[in-house]
Chains A and B, each alone.
Chain A
């Protein structure tokens, strides 16, 4: 199979991802490098919104490999993941062949059968699409933890052999090896067998400095001091025991909002008005208001208001 071009160093991958708009940390860059060099799938785990999906997209941009994405959900089966026959179209063909004749000529059924079980009548789903691709691709199997173990077993087979047997058509072998990323939000344990096949990458909330870089990458117009303050507050909020802590995605959204409303400082008022962007649950909002908002200074009170007491 034609090999995709191989990266020569971890640094090269890291830079490439950077150019593709993804600020990879050391381990993401290294694992991406190894995945290509060793031809192994990567399992990326971590909380929601820390850049798992984006890593796959960025790898696609960086390597120039097209991205094929299989978004997982509860009840996803192989008909939606692998392939499915297009019955409606097959049926139409059979009717057309029959041409209204009561008695089809001898041997014509064989011909029709061969005909309707051909690629023309096949719905190609992401897994098959990735395997049969002419060009090396990036295959993103997103949120694998939403499927069940049966599906995982099927996936495991596909990832082991990189071939799919379609009884009516024969075996379809991969022409190129896709670069495979599976992501999981860690909502359930994946099977040992699947983990065994993969390189493992744990993505976590980034440090203040890296998150600041990411935020600045997405909203370069936002004042740096304000961006830093905002990221620091997000980190403070993450310290609390929340149902759903804010992720990088929320930080970026918040930065965009602050930019939009032209905020100059992150005082208490601005915070209270916009904090629903980073925390969504009612109980989380209450907790954040109680613990974080009070730590932020009030906006400088207008002259004359100095004597006002707080409610």
Chain B
């Protein structure tokens, strides 16, 4: 008999949600799906093999053991969405699923912890990774570095642990398998989630669990093409806007010469007015991109957005920032290769990354002083960032001034909207100054943004003209 290796301590994972699973099965039964004991046992066995924070795997694992025809599957889908994750979390809470936590983080030496974690990761030991993830969380919790947002904490802890997949820059440390590093991050995330629910004693705001496990594209090359497609689409939309408007009466300009010429056919009587074709305005775009660690996996995505924007728009200036802001238009214009761009941005960006936390207030001050005077009604400002100030002065009023100088201002935030304004996120301070603020961490979101900005409301684009 094959009994797949399971990391110790993992057995308790599924029973925590057992009650709600059973309720779900009841639901299915009442809809006519034959769920017997063997299906239930299989489902539990399958769930032990996948990460229950990955909604897709969770769903597929359940479906493959429970829904055994196309028709069953259809019912399954309907009920799953209605029923599932909220119930599972509620159940865990009700039963006060509490676990002993590794204690001793007071005596903890950060270097030792780092080393232990590196070892666990290179050994690929799941159980150990999980224990160490807990340890790391309590260690950082004590140092007061928790932002209150799981995705952010994961990034910060990862950074503090220096867990780059590539070897350290000094070349001393051996490279870690990126997949294993990701697995460790998954443990971090799961444990953080558990800790949050236990601490607050209530559920986080209702949301699909897939959002907890933010699937930012970790390998940029993979999604680069999709990003480029979305941006190219945006460009096309913007470029054709002028033509679309030719069909409208509003704002058309009579072309006197062409009207006169046409009137020759009708004996000099200008029966038909000719209009001047409306030239699409060449957009002038300023993109400001947060490349700090709290958005580090996002910034890879953002950089690829920048890359694509540069590909499509000639009048584009791009800036990156962490504690300070720095223009990188040049790098993008002269470098085609995405990997090289990322390297150059991090080595030459000059964004001062001492603390690793973004200083939005300071960034606005600098941008306001040095660049904002170039802004005009034709310029669009796009900010890519999570608006996490780490408790520093947000200087929203300066941001407001910048936004009012620009024709339009958009904010793309790499966090799900539900996280905005939790922890140290001050999105609410900036949002009123924007013409639109969007969550944006997948190409899907980017496409939505493009649709709204470029396609959905063309009137917006002519604002200020």
Contact = CB atoms under 8 A, between A and B. Distances in A.
Interface of A: 1, 3, 6, 8-12, 26-27, 30-31, 33-34, 37-40, 43, 45, 177, 186, 192, 195-196, 198-202
Given A37-B4, A199-B42, 6 more contacts: A6-B5, A34-B50, A34-B61, A43-B68, A199-B64, A200-B65
Residue from A6, A34, A198 whose CB has the most chain B CB atoms within 10 Å: A34
A199 B62 CA distance: 10
Given A196-B39, A202-B70, A202-B73, A177 B46 contact: no
Contacts of A40: 42
A10 B50 contact: yes
Q: For this complex, into which size category does the number of interface residues on chain B fall?
A: 20 to 34
Interface in B1-34: 1-2, 4-5, 34
B60 A39 contact: no
B354 to A, nearest CB: 35
A274 to B, nearest CB: 29
A196 B64 CA distance: 11
Contacts of B268: none
Interface string B51-71: 000001100110111011110
Contacts of A200: 63-65, 67-69
Contacts of B60: 26-27, 30-31
B36 A38 contact: no
Contact of A33 (B2, B49, B68): B49
Given A34-B49, A200-B68, A27 B63 contact: yes
A196 B36 contact: yes
B151 to A, nearest CB: 20
Given A37-B49, A39-B2, A200-B67, A30 B34 contact: no
A285 B38 CA distance: 46
Contacts of A26: 56, 60
A266 B67 CA distance: 40
B401 interface: no
A28 to B, nearest CB: 9
Nearest to B126: A8
Given A27-B64, A30-B61, A6 B4 contact: yes
B227 to A, nearest CB: 16
Contact of A30 (B50, B68, B179): B50
B45 to A, nearest CB: 6
Contacts of A201: 64
Contacts of B2: 1, 3, 38-39, 177
A37 B64 CA distance: 14
Contacts of A39: 1-2, 4
A195 B451 CA distance: 45
A111 B49 CA distance: 52
Nearest to A6: B4
A201 B2 CA distance: 21
A195 B4 contact: no
Nearest to A176: B2
A1 B2 CA distance: 8
Q: Which 9 A/B pairs are nearest by Cβ-Cβ distance?
A: A39-B2, A30-B60, A200-B68, A195-B68, A37-B4, A199-B64, A37-B49, A31-B64, A27-B60
